[in-house]
Structure 1
């Protein structure tokens, strides 16, 4: 498989190198965590003359004997070198029974720089504080961005390339298959069925798998739509699926903690407060929807919104849905005390559509930047203080 340099993740891993934290790479399965760990191991050896990299990949049968925490710690201790900088890199850590005991013991010894990856269901963000006694630093790894996709395929026309990315998505493992049906089969079988649903069902001991399946279908079909646990429950029950809001709420938490979906809360711009009810849910990769539900109802507008939402999270923005009176701004972002308002539209060629998308931004009276992202196929321009940017250019960071 062709490999590309994932610069932003490598940069972050280098920046936290040497800190006393346990560095944990998280993200949906098949998002590239293992390849990133391999690349970081090479990077350490290239940059440090005295680096002793103890790299364990539990996907390989070579390390099968270490799938018990006493043996894992003993192996690392046996490979420690006194005069070197000792790095411990462990891939698929959950395959070692009692792994947290080994990691906590190694961390307590204070002589290792530790990095681990694990299954999205067995090493959830909510588990880190209880699993590891020492401090943890989480690095969120997402599927390929549009910029990475463009690099992989050497795309010279970003506007055409975005049309492809809308449906192909960022699951790089699917790029090895030529036909769309084969790509989606890989995503459905290797990611959705085998790795997300199976892992969640196994860890959480879910009995009502049919309800979980229907919930996933509902959330995928309503990407970017204001949703509440109560409304989901009511819809499922109206379709003769027995459900209750407590169970639905738990299942949604499982899906979000496993990085299949990301929940984005609503924020009252005028009242400057978070709104407790009705959130939006976005897929970690838009290809999941097509792999599971098919491509009959493409819904490009919401899929483009999904891509922007994940890109904002990938870039490290604190992201909310902005609410102003009865209007909604797709995204309000905050970073380093600076706010941006972002509206997303697929096509603004019709004057009425353009006016509808500009309207919520015009009503915001503060002086923070206001941006409309759309498929304009032209350089950035401005309307009434709103920057209108082609979404392909924005995704490429231009």
Structure 2
């Protein structure tokens, strides 16, 4: 179990406080492990194990507690026997009906520190905003970064070079459980396919009462084939019409939103850098884990440009950046990244193999006159930096503690 210090660093300041700590993210990305890491640090700080109350609501033994009143009564009963503060850990809380009422009441009634996880972005919308507005802090948990993957993979294949490890990461992705399978190809593919099916069924179809599952599957296949490619709901509607499926763009947008709510995809809007406005059409979508794409759809090495973009995009999110696609005239910048007063631009490509590619990647910055850092990242081993634009090897870029 690796420490995932980048997350712990952000969660740690809230230990023992009254704010509810909410960890969200796609199924099997490591949220339950984060709860265990929090528990371990609390134990190390002197909290007694008898002060913990832990419930996983995917465990059928806890099915009787999946109603708010029943859960509330059970926690009050258990907490009465705890000396001092109670530490409550609720895993996959969305399985509990009206859980937000229960959690808010426990927050008021008990001297407690509450940690919850969930696999749906709707967890923090609607009624929750009413009951817990201003009383929670959210942490989105992602599958392993390349740095986290490398730390674990080297315990399994200590002789692997950085290049070999990255090749494995390109195909396997970052789902934590794969280390238990020692990244063996067939078991890993089976596991990732099962994760995908579980997300599709539990977090998309059942939660949103999707009736046309065939249509959903076609949309999923299209988006996975086109990760990182600009498209609109209208163009997807036309594509499906060619396959004899008439579907309104609004329906497609709804289905895509369901997938984003389940953290399967991330939508990235385009920004006109000259007009300083966010554009309302032709977004891009990236998948939460490129290993799932390889298992379900295949072709990660064939579509390596798209997958490298996907990997860099997720790394930017892990580091807390808000990301848009930049547009300047006819040119496009892969990622415009902002975080408080920070800003940087990133272009991603496989190799700077031709003069045309070099001109396209570096030339994308020609119309941008500010002094924020501008990067071109690729798998080239030689530094091609020029005109104040920094060229970085993609593996080094992912492993850098900070970008200068």
Matches within 5 A, 1:116-265: 116-120=116-120, 124-127=123-126, 129-130=128-129, 132-134=131-133, 135-154=135-154, 157-177=161-181, 178-189=183-194, 191-265=195-269
Aligned to 2:290: 286
Aligned to 2:86: 86
Residue 125 of structure 1: how far off its partner (Å): 4.4
Residue 160 of structure 1: how far off its partner (Å): 2.5
Unaligned residue ranges in structure 2 (runs of 5+)? none
Residue 84 of structure 1: how far off its partner (Å): 2.4
Residue 167 of structure 1: how far off its partner (Å): 1.1
Residue 215 of structure 1: how far off its partner (Å): 0.3
Matches within 5 A, 1:266-285: 266-285=270-289
Report the CA distance shift for 1:128/1:376 in structure 2 as closer, same or farther (over 3 A).
farther
Residue 240 of structure 1: how far off its partner (Å): 1.4
Aligned to 1:344: 348
Q: Does the Cα contact within 8 Å between 1:23 and 1:138 map onto a contact in 2?
A: yes
Q: Does 1:302 align with 2:306?
A: yes
Unaligned residue ranges in structure 1 (runs of 5+)? none
Report the CA distance shift for 1:12/1:196 in structure 2 as closer, same or farther (over 3 A).
farther
Q: Does the Cα contact within 8 Å between 2:57 and 2:93 map onto a contact in 1?
A: yes
Task: Work out the CA distance in 2 between the residues paired with 1:278 and 1:61.
Answer: 43
Task: Please state whether the residue corresponding to 2:390 is helix, strand or coil.
Answer: strand
Aligned to 1:317: 321
Q: Does the Cα contact within 8 Å between 1:373 and 1:391 map onto a contact in 2?
A: yes
Task: Work out the CA distance in 2 between the residues paired with 1:4 and 1:196.
Answer: 28
Q: Does the Cα contact within 8 Å between 2:375 and 2:389 map onto a contact in 1?
A: yes
Task: Please state whether the residue corresponding to 1:117 is helix, strand or coil.
Answer: strand
Task: Please state whether the residue corresponding to 1:143 is helix, strand or coil.
Answer: coil
Task: Work out the CA distance in 2 between the residues paired with 1:192 and 1:217.
Answer: 12
Residue 173 of structure 1: how far off its partner (Å): 2.0
Output the TM-score relative to the length of structure 2: 0.91
Q: Does 1:393 align with 2:389?
A: no
Q: Which segment is superposed worse, 102-111 or 24-33?
A: 102-111
Residue 359 of structure 1: how far off its partner (Å): 0.6
Report the CA distance shift for 1:132/1:216 in structure 2 as closer, same or farther (over 3 A).
farther
Q: Does 1:104 align with 2:104?
A: yes
Q: Does 1:54 align with 2:58?
A: no
Q: Figure out how many residues of one structure are paired with residues of the other and give that number.
A: 393
Task: Please state whether the residue corresponding to 1:388 is helix, strand or coil.
Answer: strand
Task: Work out the CA distance in 2 between the residues paired with 1:208 and 1:49.
Answer: 50
Q: Which segment is superposed worse, 202-211 or 32-41?
A: 32-41
Computed over aligned residues only, the root mean square deviation of the Cα atoms, in angstroms, reads 2.2
Q: Which segment is superposed worse, 202-211 or 381-390?
A: 381-390
Residue 175 of structure 1: how far off its partner (Å): 3.5
Residue 142 of structure 1: how far off its partner (Å): 0.4
Deviation per residue, 1:118-159 (Å, 9 max, x gap) = 2337x5444573474343211100011101100001166323
Output the TM-score relative to the length of structure 1: 0.92
Report the CA distance shift for 1:124/1:105 in structure 2 as closer, same or farther (over 3 A).
closer
Residue 284 of structure 1: how far off its partner (Å): 0.5
Task: Work out the CA distance in 1 between the residues paired with 2:328 and 2:300.
Answer: 34
Residue 11 of structure 1: how far off its partner (Å): 1.8
Task: Please state whether the residue corresponding to 1:361 is helix, strand or coil.
Answer: coil
Residue 60 of structure 1: how far off its partner (Å): 4.2
Task: Work out the CA distance in 1 between the residues paired with 2:298 and 2:260.
Answer: 22
Q: Does 1:30 align with 2:33?
A: no
